[in-house]
């Protein structure tokens, strides 16, 4: 059984599914390699315009595999270079939607936060419980979480390790929307299909500017936005989109 399964359920949409149910989808080396490989391939595939990342009904992912690191030392952890396996997910130029049911804990919550949109089931739980096993988040949990929800909500989660419900996550801005558990994947796929129908270069520029701009001074970020905005006027899809509007027809975007 593959621990990371890639499917093409809709036109322009790839579905990446973590499939390690016996361990609540804990992220061991094999899962990490599988995710890195999948995102590397999908980033290059012109047929793919949006990606849905999911787990199963019980768990999106229950974090890094504790059993695989319980006896490790610092040098061994350094040599594992886990950050290299996160990099293709973080650098994915295409819109990524996390469809979260069940547990999104530790590295699982960090994985969800690598996505651009998070659709959560009502029963989903988000948390950074690393402190409870003697460590701290190591894949962006202290940084992406704080940027998403602010210092005081983040500190509460990070210092207590206590998980929060999907509704609480929604209230603090950690998810995009909450839907009934049975509708999570369908909602995410429908959303991905809608986004896949958008001009891919515009989607790519939006993602790049939002992410890069969030860490830049406002003036520099606004300049990034301006340049990306201007750049799109050299795309065929900009001509197609505006002409289709004027001619009152549906646009057909080519990704050029
Ligand atoms: N690592 C390794 N194995 C895990 C795991 C994890 N993170 N989470 C669950 N499992 C395993 C359990 O050990 C158990 O295996 P066995 O059947 O062999 O005993 C199996 O999955 C089922 O787990 P439970 O019996 O515990 O299932 P549950 O439904 O009662 O509880 C849970 C589910 C609340 C997710 C609980 O398993 C749990 O608390 N897991 C650990 C969560 C955690 O601490 N995550 C942070 C990890 S550190 C990290 O992620 C670092 C980082 O920033 C990168």
Cα–Cα distance for residue pair 13/197, rounded to 1 Å: 10
Half-sphere exposure of 100 (CA within 13 A, CB side): 37
Cα–Cα distance for residue pair 101/59, rounded to 1 Å: 6
The pLDDT tens digits for 1-56 are 899 999 999 999 999 999 999 999 999 999 999 999 999 999 999 999 999 999 99
Structural domain contains residue 253 = no
Q: What are phi and psi of 155, to 5 degrees?
A: -60, -40
The CATH number linked to 97 is 3.90.226.10
The pLDDT tens digits for 158-206 are 999 999 999 999 999 999 999 999 999 999 999 999 999 999 999 999 9
Structural domain contains residue 255 = no
Domain count, the chain: 2
Q: Which helix H or strand E contains 251, and what residues bound it?
A: none
Cα–Cα distance for residue pair 110/98, rounded to 1 Å: 11
Residue 192 shares a structural domain with residue 69: yes
ipTM of the complex: 0.98
Structural domain contains residue 106 = yes
Residue 181 shares a structural domain with residue 214: no
Residue 113 shares a structural domain with residue 222: no
Categorise residue 253: left if φ over 0, alpha if ψ from -120 to 50, beta otherwise.
beta
What's the Cα-to-Cα distance from 179 to each of 30, 99, 120, 146, 175, rounded to whole Å? 31, 10, 6, 24, 11
Residue 62 shares a structural domain with residue 143: yes
The confidence band for 59, taking pLDDT boundaries of 50, 70 and 90, is very high
The CATH number linked to 220 is 1.10.12
Cα–Cα distance for residue pair 144/113, rounded to 1 Å: 7
57 catalytic residue (yes or no): no
pLDDT at position 79 is 96
Strands 50-54 and 13-18: parallel
Domain boundary, last residue among 196, 216, 231: 196
Residue 106 shares a structural domain with residue 208: no
The pLDDT tens digits for 97-154 are 999 999 999 999 999 999 999 999 999 999 999 999 999 999 999 999 999 999 999 9
Structural domain contains residue 256 = no
Three-state helix/strand/coil letters over 138-173: CCCHHHHHHHHHCHHHHHHHHHHCCCEEHHHHHHCC
Q: How far is the CA of 26 from the centre of ligand 1 (A)?
A: 7
Residue 135 shares a structural domain with residue 232: no
- Asked whether the predicted pLDDT for residue 71 surpasses 90, the reply is yes
**pLDDT (mean) for 212-223:** 97
Residue 174 shares a structural domain with residue 219: no
The confidence band for 239, taking pLDDT boundaries of 50, 70 and 90, is very high
Does ligand 1 come within 6 angstroms of the Cβ of 27?
no
Residue 52 shares a structural domain with residue 179: yes
193 catalytic residue (yes or no): no
pLDDT at position 173 is 98
Residue 231 shares a structural domain with residue 173: no
Residue 168 shares a structural domain with residue 214: no
Residue with tokens 């029963």: 123
Does ligand 1 come within 6 angstroms of the Cβ of 113?
no
User: Is-contact 254 240, C-beta < 8 A?
Assistant: yes
182 catalytic residue (yes or no): no
Cα–Cα distance for residue pair 166/151, rounded to 1 Å: 19
Structural domain contains residue 133 = yes
Structural domain contains residue 46 = yes
Residue tagged active-site, from 107, 121, 127, 141: 107
Structural domain of 226 = 200-247
Residue 58 shares a structural domain with residue 102: yes
pLDDT at position 60 is 98
Indicate which atom in ligand 1 lies nearest the CA of residue 82.
54
Q: How far is the CA of 125 from the centre of ligand 1 (A)?
A: 13
**pLDDT (mean) for 88-95:** 98
Residue 239 shares a structural domain with residue 122: no
- 55's tokens: 């787990």
Domain boundary, last residue among 159, 174, 196: 196
Does ligand 1 come within 6 angstroms of the Cβ of 67?
yes
**pLDDT (mean) for 203-227:** 97
First to last CA, the chain: 38
Does ligand 1 come within 6 angstroms of the Cβ of 84?
no
110 catalytic residue (yes or no): yes
């Amino acid at each position: 059984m593959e621990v990371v399964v890639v499917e093409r359920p809709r036109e322009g949409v790839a579905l990446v599914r973590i499939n390690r149910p016996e361990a609540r989808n804990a992220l061991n080396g094999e899962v990490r390699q599988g995710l890195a490989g999948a995102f590397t391939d999908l980033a290059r595939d012109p047929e793919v315009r949006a990606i849905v990342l999911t787990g199963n009904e019980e768990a999106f992912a229950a974090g890094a595999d504790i059993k695989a690191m319980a006896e490790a030392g610092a040098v061994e952890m350094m040599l594992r270079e886990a950050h290299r396996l996160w990099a293709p997910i973080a650098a994915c130029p295409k819109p990524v939607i996390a469809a979260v049911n069940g547990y999104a804990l530790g590295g699982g919550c960090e994985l969800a936060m690598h996505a651009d949109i998070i659709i959560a089931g009502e029963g989903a739980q988000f948390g950074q419980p690393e402190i409870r096993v003697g460590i701290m988040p190591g894949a962006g949990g202290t940084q992406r979480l704080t940027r998403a929800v602010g210092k005081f909500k983040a500190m509460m989660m990070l210092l207590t390790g206590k998980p929060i419900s999907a509704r609480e996550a929604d209230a603090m801005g950690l998810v995009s929307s909450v839907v009934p558990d049975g509708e999570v994947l369908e909602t995410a796929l429908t959303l991905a299909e809608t986004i896949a129908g958008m001009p891919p270069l515009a989607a790519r520029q939006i993602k790049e500017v939002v992410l890069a701009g969030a860490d830049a001074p406002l003036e520099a970020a606004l300049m990034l936005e301006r340049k990306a905005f201007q750049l799109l006027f050299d795309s065929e899809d900009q001509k197609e989109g505006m002409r289709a509007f004027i001619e009152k027809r549906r646009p057909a975007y080519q990704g050029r």
